[in-house]
Structure 1
């Protein structure tokens, strides 16, 4: 067997190539992150039988994607390792605190030889695209939360009473009013007919003159300050929020055809829709990477961390949180949704609550149960069927 460990970086990749019988006397070489560099690597591997070559890389940020895509398209046997895993292996193997690109490439190859990991299959193009889009959407949602918090802070200064009048200060008609009248002082002086028309149009007739009067009366008694700077920032943040919501909607439209192509059983889970289903599908990827549900739980960081030394045993077991944070977050949201949409999971959640567990702990148990269900669905390619139906 031939082992190739590759330590990836932005401009170049360090490699360690060795054969099974003479592993410690392998060769180090460096390739550029370019077509010439990739061609040089192929030339180095051309002397060996492709079926006997095992290649190991760290999944470090995005720097490994170009090279791994190139090698997978040529049907090489690729194995990905978590950087944390290789770091622990390097520290366990040697007491010397040595870390260089050459050392990392050597230990990746050594870890590859020591483990019997499953090779990564050439992932479907659609799944790679889906992961890119879902992670981008996750970033947009995070920015949306920050903007909403900023808008609430602005309103606390210029019109704090608005939140008690409107159930949702981010509803369409409220935002339209604030864009034109971004303070209590401006709303108090607003023309009632104009204010009513804005509310009526934005709410599609659900609210009109009565709501306009209520908002204006509250503005006239408001303790809010009249600050042109805060009002300006309020308008700018509202416009940014609207643009972000438009972007998220466009991302969902881009995701829909990819979901149709993948046709994953995950989308049959109650409560899982366009918002969270694609993230689950993309982050799990090829289920064949996981030998059993425990491996999938560990990948999501939902496996319990164990503390034991001699006769000491910890009675408290928390999540390891060592895996994909994207997958873990998606599983928690899906767990919350399935408790609202499936009787079996709702009963399981209530059972954990009755045992004295807090909401978050009970939801963690639901997420673990759901992960095992997802593993079964993907392995058997079956749709979800409720046990109470």
Structure 2
């Protein structure tokens, strides 16, 4: 058996090949291009069959995507090792503070002898599209949220009464009025024909008394009048609508891709398809995790434990691993309380014991992860007995 450690970087990759006894076979650098990949393939071919080779990478974002795809198509398997774990493993091997690409490749090769290779194997290629989509969706979703915050700050200066009038929500009706009539001066002079337009566009949500109330707060507004702020409000609205259109396109594609999988996550009550797709994409192959506790740790819901002698203390959540997976599980926790009776009973039981709301939800998240793990690992549909 041969252990191949590859340290990935943007333009070149360091490779260290050793036997399972740790004897060095070959060490070289290859470029992140076609000729470099062929050089790696030739070196691997000299070692024997793919089943006799273990390949390890450090998890380094998108720089290794093409190489992973290339190796998968050739029939090789590989593992991705947590960068923090390789760092600690390196420190355990030597007291010297030396970190180079050459050293990292050797450390990764050495680590392959101490990990469960089959358990950690990642089938990357077929999951990449869905993972890219859910991560980009999260980026655009955060950008849209920031745009709403920016719009709120601008309204606080020019028309502070506007958002409270709409119960502090800048929904479809509020944004339409701002976009169509632009300034509080124009809103204060709305006519009967303007009311008909607003009533039609908002599907009757703006009644005539509410329409008159909007005109009145515009007349009495204490906000400053500024053409610059009015312009910035319009640009912020256009940006918000643009991001909404992008999110709609991404959602449609995510849903289409997720429906092609054999996931059973949608059998879980109250779990939306976008949240389910996010969980599925971030975890990837559930068989990467030999037990649910490892998935709990990957989602960042592990609790810090400090033990010394007879004392044992439990601290805050560690929050390592995938933040997007953690957010998806946390988002689903409240719907789970509503839709799954045993989770609802658990929540109220802990609440009666004086537990804090967020502490209870963190416990529920761990229960949900174990349930999700069982469903996907065994490819079975949800059953209420699983949530006990």
Q: Pick the TM interval, shorter chain.
A: over 0.9
| Alpha-carbon offset, residue 8 of structure 1 | 0.1
Instruction: Please list the CA deviations of residues 69-110 of structure 1 after superposition, one character each: whole Å capped at 9, or x if unmatched.
Output: 111111113111011111111112211000000000000101
Answer whether contact 2:72 2:125 (CA < 8 A) is retained. Answer: no
Provide the residue aligned with 2:59 in structure 1: 59
> How big is each residue's C-alpha offset from its partner over 1:15-34, in whole Å with a ceiling of 9 and x where there is no partner?
1011234x243432001001
Cα deviation code 1:236-286 (max 9, x no counterpart): 111111111111111111112212111311111111112311101111111
- Give 1:175-214 correspondences, 5 Å limit: 175-188=175-188, 190-214=189-213
If the length of structure 2 is used for normalisation, what is the TM-score?
Answer: 0.94
Q: Distance in 1 between matches of 2:196 and 2:89?
A: 67
Q: Which residue of 1 is the match for residue 229 of structure 2?
A: 230
What are the within-5 Å matches in structure 2 for residues 113-124 of structure 1? Answer: 113-117=113-117, 118-123=119-124
SS in 2 for 1:307: strand
* Correspondence 1:351 to 2:349: yes
Q: Does 1:84 align with 2:71?
A: no
Distance 1:182 1:334 in 2: 38
Q: Give the Cα–Cα distance (whole angstroms) in 1 for the partners of residues 306 and 65 of structure 2.
A: 36
Distance 2:217 2:304 in 1: 53
Return the alpha-carbon distance in structure 1 between the equivalents of residues 190 and 375 of structure 2.
Answer: 59
Number of residue equivalences: 384
- Structure 2 residue matching 1:262: 3-state secondary structure: coil
Instruction: Give the superposition deviation at 1:197.
Output: 3.3
Q: Distance in 1 between matches of 2:347 and 2:211?
A: 44
For the pair 1:363 / 2:333, whether they are aligned, the reply is no
Per-residue CA deviation, residues 286-308 of structure 1 (Å, 9 max, x unaligned), is: 11111111111111111111112
* Aligned counterparts of 2:20 and 2:261: Cα–Cα separation in 1: 39
Q: Distance in 2 between matches of 1:221 and 1:119?
A: 65
Aligned residue in 2 for 1:140 = 140
Task: Say yes or no: does 1:162 pair with 2:162.
Answer: yes
CA contact (8 A) 1:184 1:224 kept: no
- 1:341 & 1:297 partners in 2: Cα distance? 22
Per the alignment, residue 171 of structure 2 pairs with 171
| Counterpart position of 2:322 | 324
Question: Could you say which residue in structure 1 is the equivalent of 2:94?
Answer: 94
Distance in 1 separating the partners of 2:274 and 2:128: 17
Q: State the Cα RMSD in Å.
A: 1.7
User: Counterpart of 1:340?
Assistant: 338
Hey, what's the Cα distance between the residues in 1 that align with 2:68 and 2:368? 31
Residues 173 and 198 of structure 1 are in contact (CA less than 8 Å); yes or no, is this contact kept in structure 2? Answer: no
Deviations 1:2-24 (A, max 9, x none): 11100000100001011234x24
Say whether residues 1:43 and 2:5 are aligned partners. no
Does the CA contact (< 8 Å) of 2:56 and 2:112 recur in 1? yes
Query: Residues 164-197 of structure 1: CA distance to partner in whole angstroms, max 9, x if unpaired?
Result: 3213542222111112333333322x33234313
Residue of structure 1 equivalent to 2:28? 29
Q: Which runs of 5+ in 1 are unaligned?
A: none
Q: Which moved more, 1:10-19 or 1:176-185?
A: 176-185
Higher mean displacement: 240-249 or 99-108: 240-249
- Equivalent residues of 2:279, 2:328 under 8 A apart: yes
Q: Whole-Å Cα distance in 2 between the matches of residues 153 and 168 of structure 1?
A: 12
* Structure 2, unpaired ranges of 5+: none
Alignment of 1:234-249 (within 5 A): 234-249=233-248
Q: Which runs of 4+ in 1 moved over 6 A?
A: none
